[in-house]
Amino acid sequence: MTISLSHTRKELEGDLKITGSKSESNRLLILQALFPEIEIENLSNSDDSKVMQMALEKHSGTIDIHHAGTAMRFLTAYFASRENNEVVLTGSKRMKERPIRLLVEALREMGADIEYMKDDGFPPLKINGKKLGAKSVKLQANVSSQYVSALMLIAPSLPNGLEIILHGKITSTPYILMTLEIMKHAGIEGKLEGNCVKIEPVKELTSKSIAVESDWSSASYFYSLAAISDRAEIRLSNYRETSRQGDCCLSSIYRNFGVETTFEKNSIVLKKGHKKRAKRLSEDLANSPDIAQTIAVTCLALNMECNLTGLHTLKIKETDRLQALKTEIEKFGAKVAITSDSLRLFPVGKLNENVRIATYNDHRMAMAFAPLALRVPLEIEDAGVVSKSYPDFWKDFSKLGIESSEIE
């Protein structure tokens, strides 16, 4: 489905409830499968979390997780540690191109029985669940924090817990801290000290209900709308000022665009007035790479040069997001230079109109470019891809005056 986007007003006002964080939800679903005493409130309604739920109900056979990268990493560790479970984990064409060797090697070091069914180092995987008794494991930490979290989540169910010794510069540290915080709420002891994560074993947890915070990555698109607007006051719930989500850095980054964030009870209020914005933007997004697309498009809309670094993980996401951003942004007339871990945007004053954005099976490509409709009419291919993380995205955008119409 391709849709056409346009706007009816540049002064935005609205009150929206955003679905629970996909990152928090998927971590809690693994913990709940291991410790049924845990109850979850405000669970994400994303496709990825639904895939995770369905997968955890199975104990054998083929499990297709489609485009859900987090599910692939977390479930690989989960099923490897579940004695007598025999599954084949597979996914979309792109999923079969996304590396998983480092996690598999770490699990094999712990005694896991995992086979590659096609290309070495990539899904699909044949997993014969075993009782893992290792006390420690080594893992390269500069590729994906999800490998680290995957091991952390199964650690309390192991007889000795687990010590994870990390090699290299740790990427996306806030996501590891998020995992620790969630486990702490559940009653599991763990810590990160230097290059070592230590998780204590647990036999049984006290019954507990844990509420999922709304997704900060999803909030980024409303920050972008506010920045591009003439004036905005947008309230989003359910958010915490003490959030462990890496993307909560939005509240400070978007001050450069004239957007102020106020925390009120369980909500954030985004306000854009006449405050001057920066002339150019430089940000290291190593701890929050998922908002890189949104920030780049915001800069495009505001005719701001930007230099974004720390983006090495973007090449192994749903698509090569660096190349995809370059291709789609340049359709509007701007210039983009990329390296293996950075993006530099050289904007253009007048944007080309009615550009058709390819989404590459990537939900964030669709959502990141949508706020640009405040500047120029545009088209989004495969608009339904947003259901991967934010099924109500287009409905919520329409509440703020962004009109969409199906053209194919």
The predicted pLDDT at position 279 comes to: 87
- 205 and 59 in a single domain? The answer is yes
Spatial separation of the C-alpha atoms in residues 142 and 152, rounded to whole Å: 16
Strands (E) in 238-309, as ranges, are 259-264, 267-272, 280-284, 305-309
Q: Which residue has the tokens 């995770």?
A: 52
Binding site annotation covers 290?
Answer: yes
Is 389 annotated in a binding site? The answer is no
Instruction: Specify whether 78 is located in the same domain as 60.
Output: yes
Q: Contact at 8 Å (CB) between 397 and 404?
A: yes
CA 316 to CA 373: how far, in whole Å? 28
Q: Are residues 75 and 189 in the same domain?
A: yes
Would you state the pLDDT for residue 337? Answer: 98
Structural domain ending residue among the three candidates 151, 183, 211: 211
Closest Cα to residue 65, out of 106, 31, 93? 93
> Are 206 and 340 contained in the same domain?
no
Question: Which candidate in 47, 48, 247, 290 is catalytic?
Answer: 290
* Same-domain status, 245 and 179: no
Residue 92 annotated as lining a ligand binding site: no
**Is 284 annotated among the ligand-binding residues?**
no
**CA 334 distance to own-chain centroid:** 27
230 a known binding residue? no
Packed helices 292-301 and 321-330: angle between N→C axes, nearest 10 degrees: 10
Residue 202 · residue 187 · CB < 8 Å: yes
Task: Consult the annotation and say whether 93 binds a ligand.
Answer: no
Q: Are 106 and 147 a contacting pair, CB within 8 Å?
A: yes
> Does one domain contain both 254 and 229?
yes
The predicted pLDDT at position 408 comes to 65
Residues 353 and 267 grouped into a single domain: yes
Cis status of the peptide bond prior to 142, with omega within 30 of 0: no
Q: Is 172 annotated as a binding residue?
A: yes
What is the reported pLDDT for 349?
84
Q: Which residue reads 């809309």 in tokens? A: 301
Residues 225 and 370: their CA atoms lie apart, in Å, by 9
Rounded to whole angstroms, the Cα distance separating 161 from 146 reads 18
Write the DSSP assignment of 149-189 as a string of letters.
HHHHHHGGGSTT-EEEEEESPPSSHHHHHHHHHHHHHHT--
Burial call 23-42: b when 16+ CB within 10 Å, e when fewer: bbbbbbbbbbbbbeebebeb
Distance CA 379, CA 369 (A): 9
Other C-beta atoms lying within 10 Å of the C-beta of residue 374: 24
End-of-domain residue from the set 211, 240, 260: 211
Alpha-helical (H) ranges within 207-343 are: 216-228, 250-253, 292-301, 321-330
On the question of a cis peptide bond just before residue 201, with omega within 30 degrees of 0, the verdict is: no
Domain boundary among 211, 239, 270: 211
DSSP bridge partners of 209: 39
Structural domain range at position 166 = 22-211
Residues 334 and 226 placed together within one structural domain of the fold: yes
Number of domains in the chain: 2
Q: Read off the pTM.
A: 0.84
Identify whether 290 is a catalytic site residue.
yes
Residues 262 and 193 placed together within one structural domain of the fold: no
Can you tell me whether residue 117 is helix, strand or coil? coil
| Contact indicator for 380, 337 with CB cutoff of 8 Å | no
The list of the chain residues with pLDDT below 50 reads none
Is 388 annotated to bind a ligand? Reply is yes
Q: Answer yes or no: do 236 and 154 share one domain.
A: no
Say yes or no: 314 and 192 in one domain: no
| Residue 350 marked ligand-binding | no
- Annotated binding residue 101: no
Q: Is 244 helix (H, G, I), strand (E, B) or coil?
A: coil
Q: Which residue has the tokens 């915080």?
A: 181
The response to whether 272 counts as a known ligand-binding position is: no
**CATH at 53:** 3.65.10.10
Both 248 and 124 in a single domain? no
